[in-house]
Amino acid sequence: MISPIDGFHSQRKGMTMRNDFVVLGASGTTGTLIADHLVRQGARVALAGRDAARLGEAAARLDSDAVSVLAVDLADPDSLAAMAAAGRVLVNTVGPFARLAPPVMAACLAAGTPYLDLANERAAVRAVLDRDAEARRRGVALVTGAGFGPAATEALVLALLEPGIRAARVVVASAAGSAYDTEGVRSTVAAAAAEGATTYRAGELVRAPLGNGATTLVFGGAPRTVIPVPVGDLEAARQASGAPDITAYAVPRGAGEPDGRSYGYAEINDVDGRRHTAELRTGEGFAFTAALAAATATRLLDAPAPGAWTAARLLGAEQIAALPGTGIELGR
């Protein structure tokens, strides 16, 4: 069940006050970074998770009267319901998302609370997008893919499609520079890897053993060996473009980016046989994700149209390109 931690209360100074945001997994690296962004914007933020002591430590580091702590049991429907009702927007940073996100989403739908997650597993992103009709019926916005990867590459696809290009084939790729190696990321990668290499061919999902289909793409100023991966980029590119043939590549985990920066790439072959390319360059991957998630969560306070969205579609390519240290270059 939800419980206040010493020194940090969901009822401040004797007054009941709904939080602007609940950040689930706020004691983790990404959750803390996102909460810091939101607090610095002047928002009221509840740090939610299962470990009350770690949440209290994270709240102390943020050092703000606008921060409260909620200890949550993810296996308890009543606890999830109380958490979903505790803020105007819920930000979920806890993976693997394909396994852990559905009950959190369901609680948000029941409470009428906008939901945002950082999923980059193909199945997890698809699961959110598949709830579009239910979200519209309930009048709730569900947003997924608010992290480097799906948002970076989909922003490029959206930027290329703006002049009215009709896509026949789409290739996207990402190479993330990371300052952290977290257990959450490792568990999410392991869960996604079990799906194998996935692509769309003639509109159908095709699976192969992970590692098949390796190729070399030149982006970010260098040739990079990449492999098809079962990431959210695949579903995001499909939703943005409607193309029947889509491949999402990534640099294999552990290869790293020596300059500490992160890169995205998109290539569209249109129905007239023309090729269009775009690149995104930004800084460290976790920093990009935190800035993107905070911007998306803030957008959700404005009550966008209900339904299931990716973060890139909700914000648009221009707003993603405007994130700190980020730029998009079209190379038609």
- Nearest-10 Cα torsion for 116, 120, 124, 128: 40
Same domain, 106 and 191: no
| Mean pLDDT, rounded, for 130-138 | 98
Angle at the Cα of 307 from the Cα atoms of 305 and 313, rounded to 5 degrees = 75
Same domain, 59 and 115: yes
Same domain, 16 and 133: yes
pTM of the model: 0.92
Query: In a 10 Å sphere around its CB, with 0-12 CB exposed, 13-18 middle and 19+ buried, how is residue 76 labelled?
Result: middle
The CATH code of the domain that includes 302 is 3.40.50.720
Residue 4: inside a domain: no
Residue 188: inside a domain: yes
Residue 3: inside a domain: no
DSSP string, 94-125: -S-HHHHHHHHHHHHHHHT--EEE---BHHHH
Same domain, 56 and 130: yes
The total domain count for the chain is 2
Contact 292, 144 (CB under 8 A): no
Residue 182: inside a domain: yes
Residue 1: inside a domain: no
Residue 279: inside a domain: yes
Same domain, 122 and 156: no
Contact 111, 88 (CB under 8 A): no
| Mean pLDDT, rounded, for 124-136 | 97
Same domain, 167 and 60: no
Same domain, 189 and 326: yes
Give tens-digit pLDDT for 56-105.
Answer: 999 999 989 999 999 999 999 999 999 999 999 999 999 999 999 999 99
pLDDT (0 to 100) of residue 15:
36
Same domain, 57 and 201: no
Mean pLDDT over each residue of the chain, to the nearest integer: 90
Same domain, 183 and 326: yes
By residue range, what is the domain housing residue 91?
11-147+287-317
Same domain, 293 and 181: no
pLDDT (0 to 100) of residue 7:
35
pLDDT (0 to 100) of residue 178:
81
Same domain, 188 and 223: yes
pLDDT (0 to 100) of residue 256:
55
| Mean pLDDT, rounded, for 247-274 | 86
Residue 6: inside a domain: no
pLDDT (0 to 100) of residue 122:
95
Same domain, 19 and 31: yes
The CATH code of the domain that includes 326 is 3.30.360.10
- The whole-angstrom separation of Cα 69 and Cα 67 is 7
pLDDT (0 to 100) of residue 90:
98
Give tens-digit pLDDT for 183-228.
Answer: 767 777 777 778 889 999 999 999 999 889 999 999 999 999 999 9
Residue 246: inside a domain: yes
Q: Which residues of 187-206 are buried (b: 16+ CB within 10 A; e: fewer)?
A: ebbebbeebbbbbbeeeebe
**Poorest-pLDDT segment among 181-185, 278-282, 324-328:** 181-185
**Poorest-pLDDT segment among 117-121, 226-230, 257-261:** 257-261
Give tens-digit pLDDT for 138-161.
Answer: 999 999 999 998 999 999 999 999
pLDDT (0 to 100) of residue 1:
34
